[in-house]
Structure 1
Amino acid sequence: MFVGHGLLAFALVAAVAARYTGRDRALALGLLAGAFATLPDVDMLYAPVGLLWADGGPLALAKGFWGASSVVHRAATHSLVVAVVAAPAFAAVSRAGWPRVVGGCTLGALVAWSGLASGVLGALVVGAFAVGGAGVATLAGRFDVSPRSVLLTALVGLTTHPFGDLFTGTPPRLLYPFEATLLTERIALSPDPTLHLVGAMLVELGTFWLAAVVYLHLTDQRLADYLDPTAALGLPSGGAALAVPAPTLSLSYPFVFTVLGLGVACGVGVGGIDHLRSRDRHRTLAMALTALATVTVAVLVYLAAYLAV
């Protein structure tokens, strides 16, 4: 889910920006929006603490990891209130001089505000969020991205992120630090927990495909040129995945690692191990899209087999 937030923001911004500016500029703005869209998950920095007290195998480690993440995850950095304050501050930081000072002071006030609302841990998380966003904005300024563009891409990235989390886990605190709650439960795609998880995976895969299609369109390339027949290996593997326990949000790892492992293997098989270190963009993109196609086929086959059984 972490990557999908950035890809969705990239696709939305790049597709819209292409109507008003050149394709290269649109791609750059899409990448900027994607960077801002991944920023809220900086609150996961605390999650590895959960590994310290986890005792057992991979499932116990995963439980400890996600248990610790719930302490601060999907709170301050996922708030729409924080987003509308942080985005203008990031835009100001992208300019040198007084705007940068004002932006920095605004971000500092945001950190202090979170500290009062959530204690030291909240301040540390929002501090990391502020530093990360300021770094992205400063880099954008050095590449002559206007403050207005930084503002718009930051708003898109930061405000779309929490809605991508509505299918898994606890809904984000959209109005943090205020106590008012917009959503108390996640969106259920199906009352069957397995179908819900598979549906959430397909939504996530859909964001990957959307980003791929937008990128290929803006670079005048064809999807068919990057897909390798090895993606068909997803057909038998999707059925083979029935051998693992039926996946749910609380027990997704065996299934997810099975299909993702297959996708990575097929992707690497297209280019070979040596190409992982190369700068051949065509080959790298072929590896990524073939892996994506393999995983998508496997999930769809699994869904069909699960419904049939």
Structure 2
Amino acid sequence: MFIGHETVAFAVVALAAVRLGVSKERALALGVAAGLFAAVPDADMVYALSGLLSAQGGVFGATEAFWAASTAVHRTITHSVVLAAPAALAFALLHDEQTTFRAAGWTVLVGVAGVAFLVSGPLALLVTAAFAAAGRLVLLALDRYVTPALSARDVGVAAFAGLATHPFGDYLTGHPPDLLYPLPIHILTARPDLFGDETLNLLAAFGFELACIWAGVLVALHLLDRDPRDYVSPKATAGIAYAAVAFVVTPPTLDLSYPFVFSVLAVGVVGVTPDYTRRLPDAPTAALTGLAAVTLAGVAYLATYLGFVSEYL
């Protein structure tokens, strides 16, 4: 998952807020906060940049090296639902205007770093520092760009929602997160084999990511009183042509997903192409048309794989 972490956290929190009687404007602000905090756990990927220094084999080789290096600490400290609670508390305290509360927030983060160091060693300090820095950047963004202003309690709730939902989105791809870190209890030890077919497992993960993105988009448009049909151009149907890729490219798997992922995402470029009037679309129309095209491309590929390709493998 990449964008789906943020959009599903946004959708869950924003919808819950509206159901609890919160105004649409404040619900949007809470959802945005949750979405931003949902990106914070992947700050642990900072260590994976070391893999690029020894990468060979072009773009795909660099991608493989990046993910290989990430396995040292990725999806452990920052992906723990156990540590999500104290981390959310720390970010809430840091959002408070009183110096005493802010000092308490840093103290909590230092405590989290101390636990990580004792359990995982020095590298954990780098990861926790990156995690804290990412959370601090989110707080600065909320102060500067998000209205109406959120209270410390609002931030704590949004932070916990974003941090706690993130690891579950990673369950379908790669190594499962260590949900109960630092406890020596592992409840998810392997990604699920949903269909007994590696390509279908990849397409399931890809479809889940798209569903999460659409959830965020549709909730946002609902809260803004906008009709999604006003932002999707008929050009999106061009994505159906991606079905032909199933006949010429080796079926992808979760272990070799990059050719499929990069190529299917490239279909989204159709969103920024001029329409019949030769005018470029506005940003929302370009984004939603591209997303719709990618979605249709995924569906078309799946249908072709099931109908014509899989039986010959």
Query: Is this a same-fold pair by TM over 0.5?
Result: yes
Q: What does residue 271 of structure 2 align with?
A: 267
Distance in 2 between residues matched to 1:258 and 1:240, nearest whole Å: 9
Task: Give me the TM-score of the superposition, normalised by structure 1.
Answer: 0.93
Change (3 A) 1:287 1:50: same
Q: What does residue 4 of structure 2 align with?
A: 4
Measured after TM superposition, the shift of residue 288 of structure 1 is 0.7
Higher relative contact order (CA 8 A, sep 6+): 2
Measured after TM superposition, the shift of residue 93 of structure 1 is 0.9
Q: What does residue 100 of structure 1 align with?
A: 102
Distance in 2 between residues matched to 1:178 and 1:232, nearest whole Å: 49
Q: What does residue 116 of structure 1 align with?
A: 118
Q: Contact 2:264–2:297 at 8 Å: present in 1 too?
A: yes
Q: What does residue 186 of structure 2 align with?
A: 181
Q: What does residue 17 of structure 2 align with?
A: 17
SS of residue matched to 2:175: coil
Distance in 2 between residues matched to 1:268 and 1:113, nearest whole Å: 47
Q: What does residue 296 of structure 1 align with?
A: 295
SS of residue matched to 1:18: helix
- Are 1:125 and 2:124 counterparts? no
SS of residue matched to 1:104: helix
SS of residue matched to 1:2: coil
Change (3 A) 1:193 1:128: same
Measured after TM superposition, the shift of residue 137 of structure 1 is 3.1
Structure 2 letter corresponding to 1:136: V
Q: What does residue 311 of structure 2 align with?
A: none
Change (3 A) 1:92 1:65: same
Q: Deviations over 1:132-159 (max 9, x none)?
A: 2133235546763111111111111010
Q: Contact 1:35–1:157 at 8 Å: present in 2 too?
A: yes
Measured after TM superposition, the shift of residue 223 of structure 1 is 1.0
Distance in 2 between residues matched to 1:140 and 1:57, nearest whole Å: 38
Q: Contact 1:10–1:32 at 8 Å: present in 2 too?
A: yes
Measured after TM superposition, the shift of residue 270 of structure 1 is 4.7
Q: What does residue 285 of structure 1 align with?
A: 284
Structure 2 letter corresponding to 1:122: A
- Are 1:243 and 2:258 counterparts? no
Change (3 A) 1:270 1:117: farther
Distance in 1 between residues matched to 2:170 and 2:106, nearest whole Å: 29
Structure 1 letter corresponding to 2:270: C
Structure 1 residue ranges, 4+ long, deviating more than 6 angstroms after superposition: 271-275
Task: Give me the TM-score of the superposition, normalised by structure 2.
Answer: 0.91
Distance in 1 between residues matched to 2:68 and 2:278, nearest whole Å: 36
SS of residue matched to 1:72: coil
Q: Contact 2:246–2:304 at 8 Å: present in 1 too?
A: no
Q: Contact 1:168–1:249 at 8 Å: present in 2 too?
A: yes
SS of residue matched to 2:251: coil
Distance in 1 between residues matched to 2:234 and 2:142, nearest whole Å: 39
Measured after TM superposition, the shift of residue 33 of structure 1 is 0.2
SS of residue matched to 1:161: helix
SS of residue matched to 2:122: helix
Q: What does residue 56 of structure 1 align with?
A: 57
Q: Contact 2:29–2:150 at 8 Å: present in 1 too?
A: no
